[in-house]
Each structure stands twice: as C-alpha cells, then as structure tokens.
Structure 1
Amino acid sequence: MDTFNASIWTTDTTEVTDLFYETGTTPKETNRPVFSITFLILVILAASTVLTNSLILAAFYVEKKLRTYTNYFILNMTIADFAVGFLCMPIRSMVHLFDGWPFGKVASIFFMGFQNSILGVSICGVVTICIDRYIATFYPIQHYQKKSIRKATAVNVFTWVSSFGLWMMMSTAWDFIQPNNLVTSSGFSRPNYSLTYTSTLFMFALRFGLPFVIMTGLYIRIYFRVKNIGSKHLTKYMKKKKTNEKESSVTGSVCTDEQSSTATVASLEEGPTDIDQTFALPGMSKNVEKSESSRNIIKNDKHDKVTESRASLEDGKPKNVSLAVVPHGGKRLAALENQITNKPQRESRAEGQKAMRTLTFIVFVFIVTWLPTAVTVTTYALFPDFSHYINKKVRLSEISRWVAFSNSLVNPLAYAMAQPLFRHTIVKIICRQKI
C-alpha cells in the first residue's frame, strides 16, 4: 500500500514519499468523475446488498413466527449488513469514480472509523451466535430458562456499543489527536494503527484472527457434541424398538384374553334377555334390580371424576386426579394434563437443527469472504516488498477488501437457505401474496 505526505491535503505539488517503500507514483486529481466498468460492478454489488438485506428485514417484520430468540441475532447482523451496503460500499466505490478520495481529510478519517465499526458489528454478530449456540448445546436447560427477547436485544446493543467504542477510538480519535498527514494511493487518510507492522497485525487480529479462533473452536465442539448426541438417540431408539416388538408379542395374547373377559362382562351388564325373563325364577327380579342400581352408582362415580378432571384442567391448576377409570376421552384428558404439568425444559429438536444450519452457513460464509483479507494483511506484514509488487500489478488489497464487503451480501442468502420460513416469506413478499 503506497503512502504519501499530504500536509496541506493537495496533490498537485506535494512531494511523493512512502513510509516503507520508494515509489514514483503521484496522487491524481480527484475532481473529475470518470465512469468505468469497475465502478458499475461495485454499484450493482452495493444495490444487491441493500436489496437482499431489505428482504430479510421485511420478512422479519411481516412474519411473526420469525421473531424468535435466535432470529433476533440474525436481525442485528442484517441491520449491520444493510448499513454496509447502503453507506460503506457506495462511498467506497466513489474512489473508482473519481480515481481517488474526493471528500477531504476529515471525511476520510470519519469514514474509516465508521467502516471499521460497522464491519466489527457484523463480525461480533457471528461470534455472538456461536457463543449462544454453544451454551444451548452444552447447557440446554439453563439456556432455555434464561433466554428471552430482552436478553437478545441487550446483547445486540452491546455489540454496537463495543464495536463503535473500539474502532472509533482507534481509527478516528487517534488520528485527530495525533495527525500524521499521510495519505494512501487511493487518497484516504492513513490511520495511525497501520503505520507499523505490529499494530497492523494486532488490529487485524481483533477484527479477524480472534473471531476466527473463537468461531471455529466453538463450532467444532458443537459439531461433535451434536454428532454424539445423535448417535446416542439412535441407539436408544433401536433398543426401544426391540423392546416394543417383544412387548407387542406378549400383549397380543393378553389382549385376546381381555377381549373374551370383556365380552363376558358386557353380557352380564346387559341384564336378562327375553329368554331369561321367560324362565325367571322367584327372587331373580330383586337381584336384577340390585345389579342395575350398582351399575348406575359406578356410572355416576365415573361421570363425577371426569367432570372433576375437566374442571381442574379448565382452571389451569391440575389436581391429582386418576384418569384410569375414564372409559371415553381419558387419553385426551391425560394429554391435556401433560401439556399443563410437563412444561418443556429445553428447545425442541427442530429449533436446534434450524439454528445449527444457520450457524453453519454463517461461519462458512465468514471464513470464505474474510480469508483473502487475512492473507493480504499477513503478506503485507511479513513480506512487504512482495506485497507492494503485487498491489502495483493487481491492487490485491482493494480486491480483498471488496470480497470482505461481499460478506454482507451473502449473509442474507445464507439465512434463506438455512431457514425455509425466511425463504417462503420472501417469495410471498415478492409475489405480493397475502401473509
């Protein structure tokens, strides 16, 4: 990266110097816009980023089912990515239209601070999702009991405050307190943290190195944990299936005996038939009356217990009522009672799988889009001559920077791929269907 002395912030008579290299390149005038294919591609990239993130925001607004605890972290990243596409990318593309930075030194310092801060928010969002998924995997009960929309909102606000607090201090306040009067070949003010190799690597470690280590480490642990839990569930399922098969063979014979006994009891409960009445002996009518009265008592007792069970369920305070005596609707009442008494203590398996898919896509996209910048910065710090030669040929640093910007474009696509509800809602919005 070339650096120039610009004490008056003009480019016509300024002597060209480089902090690390000697170069014969001079800054160019930036008052004449020159349209190019590169500028058009960058504008299309910025517009696509704004469009995709706008669709995610619209889907979150119109579909209430998307407003879950995990998706509030997605919302935070979407807002940050929208700001990247709406502000950072169009302003950055002005360099290719004017062949340099046309807005002056003060605007350059503020823009560099804002750009680093908003990218930091997006990166912190990925780290936050990884940490939350780690807690949900290893401590599911505590995670389920403590998660709330208010907690997710507080964490999201913290990512903005911490990111802007760090990068505006390091990238903006430092340059105003100790101005260096240096500019890059693109016309931007050179930040003080980039003047030495050590500080450059340290700041990039905060931006990429540390988040990369945290994300990959947590993701690997989560992956193996989920894999082990899945194998255990499969083993338990197979054992349970074998046990059920053995029990079904035993209960088959029992059921036949029960059916025969039930038929006998039913015949007795039906009372004497016409033939029995014809050949009734003296005193038999009294026995019949007694049996009928006993059956009425049993029916009334069952009816009272069913009424009491339903009343306890409607009050929302289940009582210790035995439902075994209820002949009709007993299973339905038992299911209702279980729904009231047995509250879920952890998130469902479907929610966990959806969150895991989302995390996988986000981590993969982050590594792919930020890896070129990591290689460029590392090469610049360790092999400056080689890095300077490559940048003069293909402007590798600028290309890697825009690849990192594209992370804000691909993230919404990852959300749509990981969660079908996002995808279906977006399709309905585009087709103007009623939701």
Structure 2
Amino acid sequence: MNTTDIFTEVNTMESTFIGFNSTTTMPSVPRKLGPNNQKIAIAVTVSFLMISANVISLVAFIIEKKLRTYNNYFIINLVISDLVAGMLLTITVAHTIIGYFPFSMNFCRVYTALRNASTTVSNLGMVVICVDRYRATFDPINHFTSRSKRKAVVMNGIAWAIGLGFWLSYATGWDFVANAYNTRHCVPGYSFRLIPAILPIFLQVFLPLAVVSFLYLKIYMKIKKTMRGRNVSQMFNLRSCVQEESAISNASIITIAGRADLPKVAVGGMEKDIGKSLQGTLEANDKQRKTPKKKTESKSTPQESTGEMGKATRTLLFIIISFFVAWIPSSIVAVIFTINPILLHQGFFTSIWYIFVAWLTYANSFLNPIAYSVSQPLFRKTVFKILFHPLSACRK
C-alpha cells in the first residue's frame, strides 16, 4: 500500500485531491490543467531526503566495520529497502511533475508491485527486529548461542520473499490475468473494489503495528521488571563484598602465620608448631570457600551485553515511533477515502493537506536513518564524519 498511486485530481471547493493509496478507489475525473507547485515541491523534497539519508546510512555501514554487527544486519536491510523505495519513487515524482504516468501500462503493473513491495519489506523488517528483540529478552541464552550474521541475512531474505511474492501476485498478476485498465495514472485494478482495496492497508500497516506494539510492550515490561530486581542484586553484591574482605583478611593472617616465629607447644607429649597449624587450617578453609566460587564462575551463561541490548531496544523504539507517525494518519485517511471520498471534502482538508498526508508515508524512509543516529553513538559519529570530513572517512 502506498499513498501516491493515483494522481487524479478532483476539483471540489477549489481543492485538489491526490490519491492516498494504491488501494484507493475513485471515479474518472477530468484533470485540472497546469502544474501543482506545492505537490511538486513536496514530492521532490521527500524523494531527495529518502535517497540521500539512506545512501549516507549505507555508506556508514560500509566504511565502519564495527557497525556490521548481528543486530545491525537488520538495520542494513531497512536501509536497503528504504533506498530502493526512494529510487523507485523518482518515477512517481516524474508522474507528479508531468501529470500522468510516463510509461506503458505493463510497466505500470510491475512498477506498482515493486514500489509497494519495497515499503512492505521495510515494515516487515521492523516486525523481524521486534521478534528478534523479544527472543533476546525472554530467551537470552538460546538467542545468543544461535544468532549469526547468516541467520540475520536469511530472516531478511524471508521479508523480501513475502513482500515481493504478495505484491507481484496481488497487483501485477491480478492486472495481467484480468487485463485491467490501469488508466493514464497507473491505478492498480484491485483498487476499484472496496474489500481488495482496504485489505492491503490492514496487512501492511495495522497488522504489523499491532504485532510490534504487543511485543514491545512485553519487552518493556520484562526489562522494567529486571531493572527492579537490580536492587536485590546489589544487596547480594554487598554480601559478596563482605566475603571478599573476609578472604583478604584470611590471606593476610595466613601470610603472617607462615612468617611469624610463634612458639612450639607440647601436646600429648609432642611439640607442635602453632604457626604452621594455624596456617594449614586457614589455607584449608580458604580452599573450601573458593571451590563453590570457581564452579559458579564456570557456569556463567553467554548472552548479549547490557549495552548491546540497550542500543538494539532503543533503535527498535525509535523505528516504531517513526512508523506510527508516517503511516497511521495517511492509512486512516486512505480507508475513509476508499469507503466514501465525500467524507474528506469537508472542513480543513484542503489541497495542501491532501498532498501532505498522501506523501507522509514516505517520510518513514528518511525518519528511520534519524532513528539509527539517535540510538547508536557510533553510527552518529560515522555519519557526521561522512558529512563533515568525507576524505578522512573514505581513507578509513
């Protein structure tokens, strides 16, 4: 689902409508003559921001090897999908400028699927990250021992397979089989029916949002519960500190006992060296005390570091916020418009609001790189180096 598939305009109360969604239905209406400068400015700006932000992000991952961690392989997938969406959007920008789709109808059918698939992969990538974070939080040992960069690539590949498979069959396949007339504005055939038009909106937006919201809430509650338990851990740490101090004292006594010239005492007709006896007793006790500690240390469980888990969780939170801001308003408007377009031709929904909401979904693709920078200091440092010291960044 995308909000700029239909570029047919309606002259109602001197306002112009730009189609909200590839799943939007509207009748054939004569176009308003003359270019819409506001629409062109927004289209060009959004496309430029999408491409430039994700190109810089991809370069950052290429030149900084420390960024290519298991968790960031999912971020790299988001960068690639958002970059592909931005590059494909240039055709939509051309459509906006000249007022009609500039290529053939067959190309339109394939293009619709590819553009929708790229944004779908980005949304699925968010779900994959959330599922991975959920497992890392609730099953940290198995998650840590089973994770690998190859596994991350496979999971990302599944997201691409689902996105491309769905849209190539739902949009492209449908139109070729039904020989749909896509109009001069490249309107997909399924968008002329109510249920097929609304279905992708729920599958691509509302369903992923529901899944990630539920999982992230569980993750947050688990982390909060763990953080509360740290007070108890500190009490046990205090106890261990006392034991360590006692061990140090014993070691000192052992050393003194071994070096001191203590008198020998006659016990049962035999002389005994008090110093050696005391030293032997303390050494035996010290060995008994250390034995359980060694066993405990050998059973330390491998799992993510606190810093690594914190960065991954923060990144996920910012990605979810970006998704919500970019997709929800336009998706709600798209559903309303699909059901009854007249409902939107009232009140404050003027031409500029239609255009703004229509292109808002693509803001997600350049808000994601901002989320990476905010949550990961090394990524932010690398981006600043690329922007302000490109030569030194390239030498690295």
Give the TM-score, by structure 1 length: 0.71
Tell me which amino acid in the other structure corresponds to 2:335: T
Judge conservation of contact 2:144–2:302 (CA < 8 Å) in 1: yes
Seen in structure 2, the aligned counterparts of structure 1 residues 137 and 21 have a Cα distance that, compared at 3 Å, is closer
After TM superposition, list the pairs within 5 Å mapping 1:188-199 onto structure 2.
Answer: 188-199=185-196
Q: Decide which of 345, 362, 376 is 1:419's aligned counterpart.
A: 376
Seen in structure 2, the aligned counterparts of structure 1 residues 387 and 352 have a Cα distance that, compared at 3 Å, is same
**Secondary structure, aligned partner of 1:111:** helix
**Secondary structure, aligned partner of 1:406:** helix
Q: Decide which of 212, 215, 223 is 1:215's aligned counterpart.
A: 212
Tell me which amino acid in the other structure corresponds to 1:154: V
Partner of residue 274, structure 1: none
Work out the CA distance in 1 between the residues paired with 2:379 and 2:7. 44
Q: Percent identity?
A: 28
Q: Decide which of 206, 221, 235 is 2:232's aligned counterpart.
A: 235
After TM superposition, list the pairs within 5 Å mapping 1:27-426 onto structure 2.
Answer: 27=31, 36=37, 38-88=39-89, 90-183=90-183, 187-237=184-234, 239-243=235-239, 251=246, 255=249, 259=252, 262-263=255-256, 265-266=258-259, 268=261, 344-387=301-344, 393-394=350-351, 398-426=355-383
Judge conservation of contact 1:53–1:409 (CA < 8 Å) in 2: yes
Judge conservation of contact 2:136–2:144 (CA < 8 Å) in 1: yes
Cα-Cα RMSD: 3.5
Residue-by-residue CA offset, 1:8-29 (whole Å, 9 max, x unaligned): xxxxxxxxxxx98777x41468
Work out the CA distance in 1 between the residues paired with 2:101 and 2:7. 14
Seen in structure 2, the aligned counterparts of structure 1 residues 21 and 71 have a Cα distance that, compared at 3 Å, is closer
Work out the CA distance in 2 between the residues paired with 1:412 and 1:20. 33
Work out the CA distance in 2 between the residues paired with 1:38 and 1:398. 6
Work out the CA distance in 2 between the residues paired with 1:422 and 1:347. 19
Work out the CA distance in 2 between the residues paired with 1:260 and 1:247. 15
Work out the CA distance in 1 between the residues paired with 2:308 and 2:336. 42
Partner of residue 26, structure 1: 30
After TM superposition, give the deviation of residue 248 of structure 1 in Å.
7.6
Seen in structure 2, the aligned counterparts of structure 1 residues 154 and 371 have a Cα distance that, compared at 3 Å, is same
Residue-by-residue CA offset, 1:270-325 (whole Å, 9 max, x unaligned): xxxxxxxxxxxxxxxxxxxxxxxxxxxxxxxxxxxxxxxxxxxxxxxxxxxx9x89
Seen in structure 2, the aligned counterparts of structure 1 residues 404 and 176 have a Cα distance that, compared at 3 Å, is same
Work out the CA distance in 2 between the residues paired with 1:156 and 1:422. 21
Seen in structure 2, the aligned counterparts of structure 1 residues 109 and 391 have a Cα distance that, compared at 3 Å, is farther
Work out the CA distance in 2 between the residues paired with 1:120 and 1:197. 21
Give the TM-score, by structure 2 length: 0.77
Judge conservation of contact 2:25–2:194 (CA < 8 Å) in 1: no
Judge conservation of contact 1:373–1:397 (CA < 8 Å) in 2: no
Residue-by-residue CA offset, 1:172-225 (whole Å, 9 max, x unaligned): 111121133253xxx423222212222222121111111111111111111101
Aligned length: 348
Residue-by-residue CA offset, 1:20-48 (whole Å, 9 max, x unaligned): 8777x41468xx9x583542443233222
After TM superposition, give the deviation of residue 242 of structure 1 in Å.
4.6
After TM superposition, give the deviation of residue 146 of structure 1 in Å.
1.0
Seen in structure 2, the aligned counterparts of structure 1 residues 40 and 382 have a Cα distance that, compared at 3 Å, is closer
Judge conservation of contact 1:417–1:423 (CA < 8 Å) in 2: yes
Work out the CA distance in 2 between the residues paired with 1:261 and 1:76. 60
Seen in structure 2, the aligned counterparts of structure 1 residues 212 and 383 have a Cα distance that, compared at 3 Å, is same
Tell me which amino acid in the other structure corresponds to 2:258: V
Residue-by-residue CA offset, 1:374-410 (whole Å, 9 max, x unaligned): 2112212444321356799427554323110111111
Work out the CA distance in 1 between the residues paired with 2:151 and 2:308. 18
Partner of residue 276, structure 2: none
Tell me which amino acid in the other structure corresponds to 1:189: C
Partner of residue 282, structure 1: none
After TM superposition, give the deviation of residue 415 of structure 1 in Å.
0.5
Tell me which amino acid in the other structure corresponds to 2:197: T
Work out the CA distance in 2 between the residues paired with 1:20 and 1:82. 28
Work out the CA distance in 1 between the residues paired with 2:25 and 2:211. 33
Work out the CA distance in 2 between the residues paired with 1:124 and 1:22. 32
